[in-house]
Structure 1
Amino acid sequence: MNRNPESFKTALTFSLLIGLSGITLAGQAPGPLSAPDVPLSHRDRIYAAEQFSNTVSVTDPADNKLLGVIRLGDPAPGNFSPLYRGQVLVHGLGFSPDRHTLAVVSIGSNSVSFIDTATNAIKHVTYVGRSPHEAFYTPDGKEVWVTVRGENYISVIDAKTFGEKTRITVAAGPGMQIFSPDGKYGYICSSFNPETAVVTVADHKVVARVKQESPFCPNIAATPDGSQVWFTLKDVGKTQVFEARPPFRMIKTIETGPLTNHVNFAHTAAGTFAYITIGGQNQVKVFRTDDFSQVATIPVGSLPHGLWPSGDGKRIYVGLENADSLAAIDTETNKVVANVPVGQAPQAIVYVPDAVAEGSGTQGLQPIGLAGQTTQLRLLPVVNGKPVASDNAPTSVTLFDQGLLQVLQASATGLQPKQAYVLALASQADGSGVLEPLANFMANPAGAAIVNAIGPIRQVVQGIAGTETRRYLVIAPTDNGKPAAPVQVQAM
């Protein structure tokens, strides 16, 4: 029998490699590829930030069950009061590397709420500059970087004291930031200027600027292997990819579709894949990160927005902004396998493995209540003066109940780029007659737009107050403020 120590060591090493070869690595963003899988369990949580109900929904992914909501504020018009103290437009999400703290950004109240994931209790609220958008922890957990989109800087918050320690000046309108898995760089795209800044985390210095093809980037993510950065361009319907390390060379521009929104990654046995929400097409599109080929198009529901992988890479969860729900995608089959009702207009979502180490983790949660009440409508294209029936209507409309009023949100596509339009109420089902304007808007370069209004709209379009008062939603082009014939009308 061979007793050679070196031979024994070699054999042992080989045996260990064989044993480890069956282990897959999730590489859950924003973590590194070397991060081990965290098998799905009842200790995991999915959080969604909901901007019209001003709630954070909490879902158990083990059985895709909504546990309740963390109520950070009130719906409109209660939050219009000068004495109002809650949060407004709950929108952005991030979480600490130890998975114990959730950072929730509220755009309208300029705040970051820090929430204990085990108890759902608010630990602190930090107020920053005008209209913050997203907040993420540095990989070492020492700082929280907040994009202050209404100004020109990143607010750097001390993760222990929750106080602002410094600011990083960038181009006006920073949209979102994410970090390289090794914690060396922060990547900050812009929502108002066509450039993404690369900042060294250690000294907060801007070391590079990467050109964006348009000025409106809402979302950015780094691949788990630390080689690429992907960012989305919502106004032109594109996604761009650049090298995550110097010289930060642009690699690829992909035509993804109208209202391209968030991007994130799943690492599986078949490779690393980018999942991108395409709001105007109600789809998630899936691309390989090695050759950038598209491998799947997944219908998910109305206006997909944020998305995040599970801790084992086996699921991608997607927030459906105009459907008030989460869609769970199986990354092996790229099929939707579950839907979970949540609050109104989910924006960013995050999946936090082992968020609740012990106990039920349901303390402080409230029922969804009014936030679960919505009405969905569709607008059809008009051809030769008549609406054309279609299962894939170009515009979806959701009415989010706020009591006696509703917030209306339309995800409009199929319009002429950079054309002025009006969303209006017509007295006739075909859109004829005098139009009552609800909101004027401009279609973006991809012929799409998100349009908002508020009022007792459901009662009118459904004829609740009497059939003689019923009106019909339409979209019409405008010239010098005067509407022409409608180009889209409400489906009956």
Structure 2
Amino acid sequence: MTRSLFAAVLVATTAIFPLAAARAGQAPGMVSQPDVPVSHRDRVYAAEQFSNTVSVTDPADNRLLGVIRLGDPQPGNLSPLYRGQVLVHGMGFSPDHKTLAVVSIGTNAVSFIDTATNTVKHTTYVGRAPHEAFYTPDGREVWVTVRGEDYVAVLDGKTFEETGRIKTPAGPGMQIFSPDGKYGYICSSFNPETLVVSVADHQVVGRVKQASPFCPNIAATPDGKQVWFTLKDVGKTQVFDARPPFDLIKTLDTGPITNHVNFAATAGGTFAYVTIGGLNEVKVFRTDTFEPVATVPVGNLPHGVWPSGDGSRVYVGLENADALAAIDTSTNRVVATVPIGQAPQAIAYVPNAVPDGDGTANLQPLGTAGDTAHLALGAVGEGGAAGADGAGGRDAKPASSVTLFSQGLTQVLQASVTGLEPKTGYVLALSDRPDGKGKLEPLTAFTTNPAGAAIVNTVGPIRQIVQGPAKDDRRYLTIASGTADQPGEPVQLQLP
């Protein structure tokens, strides 16, 4: 049977036998399983932490269908009687592709969403600050990394009730499973050690040293041979053998704010796609030789990444652009950009998520979740220095991207800061002069990571005073050395 005829038969039969395409030959499934061609039955989901939404995109025409609202923006979510979710962040899905597991960090929740109806069918509350959740390949359990504590919560895959805990070093970041379901791999966000756990009995069977304590993401290759994990604080990606004795194979210098990694199995081989937030790029590596084969500019602060069911595309969530970027894996070029909700974190491509109907029930318009403003900061003395009018030149090269996510009269400000001294204290401030040398009004202090980068957040009516024509009450975003009590010289300035 030819590949095209096989694909046609597969599409025709998935509605009758949905489990036949339950896990495609792409991560997190086995490479030996059949690919699932892109269709209107597939969905791309993104967890959006400042609008507290899950966006739903049809990849067949790269069109946003709407959002699932799990909560409200500020100030509604500050009420003591608030019942929604806050900081919608992590995401996994069941092997039969009928259920999403969505983690909300601020409310310690895992929301289980029916992919056919876009409704929450159950919410399980776990320990402090969970980060990611994923089903075991047999669908019997859901493992939830409770990053604010020292364990993985194990939930029943049908009742969604907690049935046990797997003890880990403090701050488990994420877990993923070997495609055959034998092992669970749990990296840490607070300790430099990844655990390998037997799924059958929840016993630790291996330990892998991390080059730094902060791992936000981990993924297993669909051939079951390798596990890759990212280190956000030092800008590295490490690879270890997925089988005993779980030896470390390779350490790659990938770049500041290295976020997530995933794979596309193609006719030319299996490739790792790594999102580099500080460079606004996705770097592509071969998994056999670890050779870098492409660098793909995608937009501000790429975060989550997931392949389509046939490996023909890789989707990337752009945290500071409120968008999905679709990369064609045959050319490694962005072929579509889809507007979605605020600050997408984890994303998931789910083949055959909606076997019947149009799958738009209970979706809501994007609304205020699409209301954002974008700014940039340039380095003083390197294109960002003051020009004749005191502002950075229009040819200045941005060093840091800033997004203002509307919450009504206020905004959540998030800056993806790069190009600073490592492990050094700085202040994000408002200046009454565009050259940053006037009076500074500190917004928040921060310390850069070992790669000289940081994700910086604050809240306030900032857009109203940093945009528009110059006037007496106009202020300019500035990064200065020092502390909030004693800010020093400006090092980055707001670009016009």
User: What is the Cα deviation at residue 27 of structure 1?
Assistant: 2.5
Provide the rounded CA distance (Å) in 1 between the counterparts of 2:250 and 2:4.
Answer: 32
Distance 1:480 1:151 in 2: 30
Name the CA distance, whole Å, in 2 between partners of 1:20 and 1:456: 56
- How far off is 1:392 after superposition? 4.2
1:380 Cα deviation from its structure 2 partner: 0.5
Cα distance in 2, alignment partners of residues 295 and 23 from structure 1:
30
SS of equivalent residue, structure 1 residue 370: helix
Task: Provide Cα deviations, 1:311-344, integer angstroms capped at 9, x if missing partner.
Answer: 0100000000000000000000000000000000
Residue number in structure 2 paired with 1:9: none
Q: Is it true that 1:109 corresponds to 2:107 in the alignment?
A: yes
Query: Which stretch has the larger CA shift, 386-395 or 406-415?
Result: 386-395
Written as runs of structure 1 = structure 2, the 5 A alignment for 1:235-384 is 235-383=233-381
1:64 aligns with 2:62: yes
> How far off its partner does 1:23 sit?
7.2
The answer for the alignment partner of 2:38 in structure 1 is 40
Could you tell me whether the CA contact under 8 Å between 1:412 and 1:449 is conserved in 2? yes
Matched, 1:416 2:421: yes
Instruction: Between 25-34 and 418-427, report the one with greater CA deviation.
Output: 25-34
Match of 1:201 in 2: 199
Q: Quickly say closer, same or farther: Cα 1:426–1:186, change in 2 above 3 A.
A: same
Q: Distance in 2 between matches of 1:481 and 1:236?
A: 28
Distance 1:116 1:270, change over 3 A: same
Say whether the 8 Å CA contact 1:262–1:305 is kept in structure 2: yes
* Equivalent of residue 489 in structure 2, options 481, 485, 488: 485
Q: Percent of aligned pairs with the same residue?
A: 73
Q: Which 4+ stretches in 1 moved above 3 angstroms?
A: 19-26, 384-392
Q: CA deviation at 1:444?
A: 0.4
In the alignment, the residues of structure 1 paired with residue 445 and residue 6 of structure 2 have an alpha-carbon distance, to the nearest angstrom, of: 54
Which SS does the other structure have where 1:469 is aligned? coil
1:421 and 1:22 map into 2 onto residues whose CA distance is: 60
Measure the CA separation in 2 of the matches of 1:454 and 1:249.
44
3-state SS in 1 of match to 2:380:
strand
Structure 1 alignment gaps of length 5 or more: 1-15
Question: Is the Cα contact below 8 Å between 2:396 and 2:495 reproduced in 1?
Answer: no
TM-superposed deviation, 1:20: 6.9
* Offset of residue 383 of structure 1: 1.2
Counterpart of 2:412 in structure 1: which amino acid? V
**Which residue pairs with 2:133 in the alignment?**
135
Query: How much has 1:78 moved relative to structure 2?
Result: 1.2
Q: Which moved more, 1:262-271 or 1:73-82?
A: 73-82
TM-score, with structure 1 as normaliser: 0.94
- Report how many residues are paired: 474
Deviations 1:127-171 (A, max 9, x none): 000000000000000000000000000000001111000000000
Alignment partner, residue 467 of structure 1: 471
Residues 156-171 of structure 1: pairs in structure 2 closer than 5 A: 156-171=154-169
Q: Distance in 1 between matches of 2:285 and 2:394?
A: 32
2:152 to 147, 151, 154: 154
- What is the root-mean-square deviation in Å for CA atoms of aligned residues? 1.6
* Matched-pair contact (CA < 8 Å) for 2:112–2:120: yes
Q: How many Å separate the matches in 2 of 1:340 and 1:21?
A: 28
2:89–2:346 Cα contact (<8 Å) kept = yes
Show the 5 A alignment for 1:79-98.
79-98=77-96
CA distance in 2, matches of 1:428, 1:479: 19
**1:415 to 1:234, Cα distance in 2 relative to 1, 3 A:** same
When Rg is computed on C-alpha atoms for both structures, the one with the higher figure is 1
Superposed CA deviations along residues 413-458 of structure 1, whole A, max 9, x for unmatched, are: 0000001000000001111111000010000000000000000000
The offset of 1:483, in angstroms, is 1.1
Q: Deviations over 1:214-255 (max 9, x none)?
A: 000000000000000000000000000000000000000000
Q: Would the aligned equivalents of 2:393 and 2:495 in 1 still touch at CA under 8 Å?
A: no
Question: Which of 431, 440, 453 does residue 445 from structure 2 map onto?
Answer: 440
Which string of whole-angstrom CA distances, capped at 9 and with x for unpartnered residues, describes residues 59-104 of structure 1? 0000100000000000012111111110000000000000000000
Aligned to 1:175: 173
Asked whether the 8 Å contact 1:266–1:272 carries over to 2, the reply is yes
Task: Tell whether the 8 Å contact from 2:434 to 2:494 is kept in structure 1 after alignment.
Answer: yes
Normalising by structure 2, what TM-score?
0.93
